[in-house]
Structure 1
Amino acid sequence: MKKIFLAVSLLAASQAWAATETYNIDGTHSFANFSIRHVVSKTSGTFNDVAGVITLDPANLNTATVRATINVSSVNTGFGKRDEHIKADKYLDVAKYTQIQFESTKITASNQTQGIMQGNLTMHGVTKLVDIPIRVLGYGADPWGGQRAGFEGHITLKASDYGFGWATGANAPVGDDIEVTLLIEGVKAK
Structure 2
Amino acid sequence: MLKKTLAALALGSALLSAGHAMAADYAIDKQGQHAFVNFKISHLGYSWLYGTFKDFDGSFTFDAAAPEASKVNVTLNTDSVDTNHAERDKHIRSADFLNVSKNPTATFASTSVKSTGEGTADITGDLTLNGVTKPVVIAAKFIGEGKDPWGGYRAGFEGSTTIKLKDFDITKDLGPASESLELIISIEGVRK
TM-score (norm 1): 0.84
Where in structure 2 are the equivalents of 1:1-190 lying within 5 Å?
15=18, 19-27=22-30, 28-39=33-44, 40-111=46-117, 113-167=119-173, 172=175, 175-189=178-192
Aligned 8 A contact 1:106 1:119 in 2 = yes
Q: Show structure 1 runs of 4+ deviating over 4 A.
A: 15-18
Aligned 8 A contact 2:98 2:129 in 1 = no
Q: Tell me how far apart the structure 1 counterparts of residues 188 and 161 of structure 2 sit (CA, whole Å).
A: 18
Query: Computing the radius of gyration over CA atoms, which structure comes out larger, 1 or 2?
Result: 2
Letter in 1 for 2:94: A
Q: Tell me how far apart the structure 1 counterparts of residues 76 and 93 of structure 2 sit (CA, whole Å).
A: 14
Aligned 8 A contact 1:100 1:124 in 2 = yes
Deviation of 1:176 after TM superposition, in Å, equals: 1.1
Aligned 8 A contact 2:21 2:65 in 1 = no
Letter in 1 for 2:64: P
Q: CA RMSD of the aligned region, Å?
A: 2.2
Q: Secondary structure, in 3 states, of the residue corresponding to 1:94?
A: coil
The number of aligned residues is: 175
Q: Tell me how far apart the structure 1 counterparts of residues 162 and 22 of structure 2 sit (CA, whole Å).
A: 33
Indicate how the Cα distance of structure 1 residues 175 and 81 shifts in structure 2: closer, same or farther if over 3 A, else same. Answer: same
Deviation of 1:82 after TM superposition, in Å, equals: 1.8
